[in-house]
Amino acid sequence: AAAAKEIKEQISKSSSQVQNGVQLVGEAGEALKRISDQIKAASDIVTKIAHSASEQDTTLRTISSSMNQLDAATQHNAAMAEETTASAEALANDTEELLNLIRGFRVSGASQSASLGGMAQQMRRAS
């Protein structure tokens, strides 16, 4: 009877330890599920960050391309402004030469001379 009592106590103790082990395994399973859920959440966040970074890269490339086009247009406009300035200076020089030629004409009659002088004055003001 003592042996049976000891076996019963051992079985009861083992059963208690098994129940404790089952509870610990259940808790470990729940902890692993929480860890898995947190890893998935972190993975989702990293995926969103990567997607946003890709969108920003595309936007920055577009901005860079637009800036390059703007730079090219600015350089083209500057070159055209220089050409326009050079043409205006050449036109002013040609106008001055033409005025000098007109001054050299001698026309008989005061009204014609005055008319040429008036025309020379108008051309000088226009330049």
Q: Where are the domains of the chain?
A: 2-89
List per-block mean pLDDT (blocks of 10 residues) for the chain, which spans 127 residues: 87 91 95 98 98 98 98 98 97 92 68 58 67
- H or E element that contains 53: helix 2-104
pLDDT at 46: 98
- In sequence order, which residues have a C-beta less than 8 Å from that of residue 102 and are 6 or more positions away? 116, 119, 120, 123
DSSP code at position 107: -
pLDDT at 126: 66
Q: What angle do CA 83, 88, 93 make, to 5 degrees?
A: 125
pLDDT at 111: 52
- In sequence order, which residues have a C-beta less than 8 Å from that of residue 19 and are 6 or more positions away? none
pLDDT at 114: 53
Whose CA is closest to 16, among 4, 8, 27?
Answer: 8
Query: How far, CA to CA in Å, does 114 sit from each of 62, 84, 96, 99, 110?
Result: 65, 34, 19, 14, 6
